[in-house]
Amino acid sequence: MNDLTRSASRRWWALALIATAQFVVIMDTSIIGVALPQIQNDLGFSPEGLSWVFNAYVVAFGGLLLLGGRLSDLLGARRVFTAGWLVLLAGSAIAGAAGTVWMELTGRAVQGAGSALIAPSALTLLMTIFGGEPRELTKALALYGAAAPAGGTAGVFLGGVITEYVSWPWVFYLNIPIAVVAMLAAPALMPTGSAQRGSIDVFGAVTVTAGLALAVYGIVRAPDAGWGSVEILVALGAAVALLAGFVVIQSKRRTPLVRLGIFRTPQLGAANVAQLLLAGAWIPMWFFLNLYLQQVLGLGAFASGSALLPMTTVIMIGMIAVGPRLTARFGAKPMIVTGLFVLAAGLGWLSLVRPDGNFWVDVLPASLVAAAGMALAFVPSLGTAISSARPEEGGLASGIVNTSYQVGSALGLAAMTALAMSMGAGQAGDTQAVTDGLSAAFVGAGGIAVAGGLIAAAILRGRRAQREQNTTPAGTNA
């Protein structure tokens, strides 16, 4: 094997590790779903507190992603990538061995912190390895993008198998051997990268994470406590104050966690809005579809995970084989806009689910339409967000786009959970009421997708506008 062949082979092995990273960090959001009842029984979670087994991971993940991106730029992507796996391993061990509620939530938060280091550094490494070859970059982003929905569905499937045939701690212990292999492989496969000089805005990271946590808490608690209650008003008011304070802090610091000027980069802000709203529609759809399969159709853990495999297959084929060709022909904007509207159509179809329905009529066709929409929109919006930034800010751009997706996931799911509960989804045993609540959540998620499509159509630039921007002489106001 000559040096050129060896180098090409190593690149694709590196991509396999990067895709595995994306697969695992998304899998960890879904693998606990089927295990939650057993975790509740063994550790004594209240029904309300149980949701924080999910939220502790997502809030830490989403809130610390910007810090992860900044660290990736300052310390080098490979170093942060490897450190992230070590932190994820530690969090997985704590969560699996937990004997109390707080130890479980601590383990989940540590897992989220590890994922917040892994995700932006993985994208930075991908851009470093493939950024110089646009055709190869498109393929790499497609494989990376397909790993996310594959991880989400695999999490449901594996969570069901492990919970049913082993025990719930192993949904966390599963990460440990993967993390060990990743830490051993990274030095051999990943480029060293260059570190930069600068400081780390820890206060900014704490502020944005606390603001996000309070926002999710307020939205999740509102159906029980009441939107006008003092508890909710204080939580949401504090969230707004903290997030506003974060923006002020970033505008004043010489070396901020997020250089606010990066959002003036053409396409970057618009693509991040598309990612946020795409996640805000997709994650609630996946979550409530799983509930419909189990609580209404009566499928077991293994059968529910299996029922989502056709949807995952469509997504992977769409992202890897179909999407890149269509994007090359029509451009990113038409793909993103069309994908969001197709996702909305699938969600609208899912809202017609019946209490006496079945998988073949009520779930399969609508879920495949929704999956096609996700496949069309995800990779073009991700690629646009990452490629718009300057090379030296690749880690920051990766952190921002991952943050957009995770914040959209957390807030979208929290809002649709509140809507579903208010419409009857919490009335266990009343199949009609549960179905009405889930249907309302599908309608709400569809509205988010429609909003995303309209906003993307209005603010994303098409190919012609980008060509005009690129050919405008320096110093001229375009």
pLDDT at 448: 97
Check whether 468 has a pLDDT greater than 70.
Answer: no
Architecture of domain 1-190: Up-down Bundle (1.20)
- Mean pLDDT over 225-233 rounds to 86
Tens digit of each residue's pLDDT (9 = 90 or more) over 404-454 = 887 888 788 878 888 888 888 877 778 899 899 999 999 999 999 999 999
Q: Please state, in angstroms and as integers, the Cα–Cα distance from residue 406 to each residue in 20, 54, 188, following that order.
A: 18, 12, 30
Q: Name, of 103-117, 373-387, 427-441, 464-478, the range with top average pLDDT.
A: 103-117
Give the model's pLDDT for residue 476: 35
d(CA 371, CA 40): 32
For residues 89 and 84, give the distance between their C-alpha atoms in angstroms, rounded to a whole number.
Answer: 9
Sequence spans of domains, the chain: 1-190, 201-256, 262-461
Stretch 102-123: mean pLDDT: 92
Q: Is 407 left (phi over 0), alpha (psi -120 to 50) or beta?
A: alpha
The better pLDDT of the pair 167, 347 is held by 347
Residue 244 tokens read as: 């506003």
Residue 5 pLDDT greater than 60, yes or no: no
Could you tell me if 133 and 15 are in contact, meaning their C-beta atoms sit under 8 angstroms apart?
A: no
Strands (E), 259-392: none
Tell me which architecture the domain covering 262-461 has in CATH: Up-down Bundle (1.20)
Question: What tens digit of pLDDT does each residue of 53-72 get?
Answer: 887 888 788 778 778 887 88
Predicted TM-score (pTM) of the model is: 0.79
When pLDDT is cut at 50, 70 and 90, the band that residue 371 belongs to is very high
- According to the 3-state scheme, what is the secondary structure of 331-350? CHHHHHHHHHHHHHHHHHHH
The most confident of 39-43, 200-204, 426-430, 444-448, by mean pLDDT: 444-448
pLDDT at 222: 77
Considering only residues 171 and 143, tell me which one the structure prediction assigns the higher pLDDT: 171
pLDDT at 439: 96
Q: Which pLDDT score is estimated for 466?
A: 54
What is the mean pLDDT of the segment spanning 460-464? 71
Angle at 451 between CA 292 and CA 216, to 5 degrees: 60
- pLDDT (0 to 100) of residue 172: 95
pLDDT of 199: 65
Q: What is the pLDDT of residue 400?
A: 81
- For the segment 227-234, the average pLDDT, to the nearest whole number, is 89
% of residues, the chain, pLDDT over 70: 91
Which residues are CB-neighbours of 330 under 8 A, at least 6 positions away?
A: none
The answer to whether residue 287 scores a pLDDT higher than 50 is yes
User: Do 428 and 295 contact (CB within 8 A), yes or no?
Assistant: yes
Question: Can you read off the two tokens belonging to residue 187?
Answer: 């030095």
Cα 102 to Cα 291: distance, rounded to the nearest angstrom: 26
Domains 1-190 and 262-461 share a fold: yes
In this predicted model, which residue has the larger pLDDT, 123 or 49? 123
| Predicted pLDDT of residue 294 | 79
Q: What is the pLDDT of residue 162?
A: 87
Please say if the pLDDT value at position 353 is more than 80.
yes
Residue 1 reports pLDDT greater than 60: no
Q: Which helix (H) or strand (E) holds 431?
A: helix 431-459
Q: What is the mean pLDDT of residues 383-393?
A: 75
Please report the pLDDT score of residue 260 as a whole number.
78
Q: What is the pLDDT of residue 238?
A: 94
Task: For the chain, give the mean pLDDT.
Answer: 84
Measured distance between the N- and C-terminal CA atoms of the chain, rounded to whole angstroms: 51
Contacts of 125 (CB under 8 A, 6+ apart): 14, 18, 77, 78, 81, 190, 191, 193
Check whether 90 has a pLDDT greater than 50.
Answer: yes
Residue 168 in this model has a pLDDT that exceeds 80:
yes
User: Is a pLDDT exceeding 90 seen at residue 184?
Assistant: yes
* Tokens linked to 5: 């062949």
Question: Of 94, 98, 81, which Cα lies nearest the Cα of 45?
Answer: 98
Q: Is pLDDT of 369 > 90?
A: yes
